[in-house]
Structure 1
Amino acid sequence: MVVAARVDVKEHAVKMLSELHRMRQDCDRCDFIIKVQSDVYRAHKNVLSAGSEYFRAMLALGTTESRDGEISFKDVDSECVKNCIDFIYSGEFEIPDRKIKDLLHVGIMLQLEGVKQVTSGILVDSLNVENYYSTRDIADTYNLKEVTSKCQKFFKENLMPIASLSEFAGTSISRLVKRLLSKELKYSDQEKLTILLKWAEKNPQETGVLLDAMKRLRLDKISAAFLRSLLKSHVIVSNDLAIYKLISDHLLDTAAKVIQPKDAIICSNCKRLETEKSKIEKNLSDIKNQLNESKAQGHSVFNNTKQKETATLLPLPSSQIVLNSQKQDTKQYAVAEVTASGTNSVRHKSRGSSDRSKTRSVAESLGVRLITNPCNFESIQYKTHKKEWAHIREQGIRCDSESCIKFTVSPGDGYTAIDTRDLPEVYIYIDVKKAVKDGLKFYVSSKNVVFSKGLRDGIIAPKYFKFVLTYDHKTKEFNQVDI
C-alpha cells in the first residue's frame, strides 16, 4: 500500500530557493556567466530559465549565448542587474538610491513582472510635487497604466504647486485648459487664472494662446481687486494690449474702478456727465416739438392741466414705441404717455391723410409695461442660431438702433417650455434679476413678450446669461453648454 507524504509546500519552496541562492553565491555548479561592464555574475541556466521569460527564450533556442554559456549586457546599470538576479533566486531585491528608473528598465528587459509591480507601487507611494514630472515620464516611457492614472489624479489635485515648477513650461496649453475647465477641478476661477499666468510667464511668446484661454474663464467670478492688481503690476498683462483691454473692459462693464490717475477719473466722469446732459436736452427738445406740433394742429394732448404738468414719455427704447402699419398711403404711429394719475394713454397721428387724433389706453393699444419686479420673470429666453452663437458668446446680444431685443417668457427652468417649431439651435436664458439690478430695463407686452434695448451701447453682455441650451435637430434633444 502506497501512502502519500507531504510537507509544507511554502516552507519547502523557501528552503529550495535559499539553497540555490547559496550555491550561486558560492559559485557551486554554476553553468552561466552574466557580464556587465567589468562585473561578472555567475548563475544556473535552469534557475534563470525558470525565473525569467527573457532567459527561457534565449537559452531554449540554441543561441550563441546558450552555447558559450555567457552573455554581456551594455547600457544597463550593473547593480540593478545583480539585484534582478537576486530576485530570481530569492524573491527579494534591494532598490539602489535614485536608481528606481534603472531597476525598472532592467526588470522590464528581463521580463520580471514582480520587479515591475514592486517598482510601480513604490513610484505611486512616493509621488509628490517635486518628483511629479520625473515619475510621469517614467510611467509614459514604460507604459505603467497604474502610475499614469495616479499622476493624472495628482495633477488635478496639486495643480497650483505644480505650476511653480520649471517643468510646467512644457505642459500642453490645450491639455491644461481642458483640465482647468473640467468640472472635476475644484479650483476657483481666480486660481485658474493664476495658473494660466504662471504658464504664460514660462512661455512669454504664447500670449495669444493665453488670451484665448482667459476668454473661457468667468471673469465675473474673479475679485476686482485681483484684476486691478494684474493691470498695474503683472508684466504680461500690462504689456499685452489685448489682454489688458479684456480685463479693463470687464472692470468697466461691472462698474469697478480701473487703477488710473485721479485727474483721469475726474475727466472721465465729466465727459460722461456731459454726454448724459446732451441726451436729456435732446429728449426735452423732442418733447417740446411734439407739444408745439400738437397745439398747432388743434389736438388735445392732455385732459387737464395737472396731467400736462406731470406728463412724461413711457420709458421705452428711444422714449417711444413706434407701431408701423401701412394702410394704402397712410402710416400711423403712437406715442405712449404717462399721466399724473398713473393712467397710460396713446396719441395717434396720421400722415398722407386728413388730420385726426384720438387717445386710448396703452393697455388697449400697446399693452406694454416696465418690468419692476424681476422675480416674476426669472426665466426669459432669447432664441438664435448656432452661426450667431460664437459672436454672442463673446460680445453679448446686440440690438440695432431701430429695434428692440425680443425675448419669450418660460415658466420654471424653461426646459419644458421651449418652443422649437421654428427650430432655432440656441436658447439663451437671461438673469433678469441681475440685469435689472445693474440698470437694464425690460418691458413686457400683454402677450407676454419681453423687450429690451440693452444698456447704453445696445448690448446685453454675456455676464447676464444664466445658462444656454442647444437643440440638436437629429436627436431632438437639448444640451446645456458652458458659457
Structure 2
Amino acid sequence: MQPIDHGVLEKSGRGSGGEADPIDALGRAMTKILRHEAATFNLDLRSDGYCKVDELLKIGMKTRAGIPLSSHSVEEVLQAVKQDNKQRFSTTREDGTLYIRANQGHSIKEVLSDHLLREISSTDKIPVCIHGTYKHALPSILESGLKVMGRNHVHFATGLPDENGVISGMRSSCQVLIYLDTEKAMADGMKFYVSDNNVVLTEGFEGCVPCEYFEKVVEWPSKRVIVGPLDRASPAKDARQL
C-alpha cells in the first residue's frame, strides 16, 4: 500500500529556523502524534500509550525536515528516542515486536493514568513539586487554579530548572514557579503520578489544581516570593507585583 501524504508538520517550536535536523524533526513528529494525534492517522494506541513502531512508520506525514515518517527506519526511530534530551519516549519489545510511547503530555483520553504512569503513594517521594509558567499566565492561574488545558494532567518538576536530574516537567524559559503543597493535596484525595522521565502529574480535581494547594509562588530566576504561605487565602492580588 502506498503511504498517504498527510502534509508537513508545522515548523514552529523549539529550534525553528534554518534547515531541520532529520532525527530531531522525527522526534518532534513522533511526540505530536503519540501525545495528541494518533486518531488522526488511525494509529492504535493501547491504554498504556504504546503503539507498534512499524505501524507508526506507515504514516506518510512529512516532518518539518520534509521527510515522510514512512521513509524513516526503525533504527532512526531508536536514534530519535536516544538523543531526546527530555527523555520523552519509552520503547519495549513484546513477543519480538517493538513498541513506542510518549512518556507524558497526552491529550488522548484513551491513554489511562493508571496504565501509563506510576501512582505516588507518599509525599516522601516528591518532597519538592514545582510547576513552571509565565508572568502573563499568572493572574488567571491565581484566580482559577492550574488547569490541564486540554491535556490529561497538570505537569510538575521535582526540582528547579537548573538542578541536576531535572530534565523535564517545565520549560527552561519559565518566569514563575508555583510550589505545590503535596501533603495537603494528597490528604484531600488528589492523586499524583510519576512518568518514566520523572515528571510528576496530576489530574487535580475535575481537571484543576485549586490555588489553596499552592505552597508559594516565586519569580524565576530571581526567586522573589510573589505569594507566600500567609497569602494563599486571596492570592490574586499578588499578581500585580510582577
Structure-1-length-normalised TM-score: 0.25
* Greater radius of gyration (CA): 1
**Greater RCO between the two (CA within 8 Å, min separation 6)?**
2
Structure-2-length-normalised TM-score: 0.47
More helix by share: 1
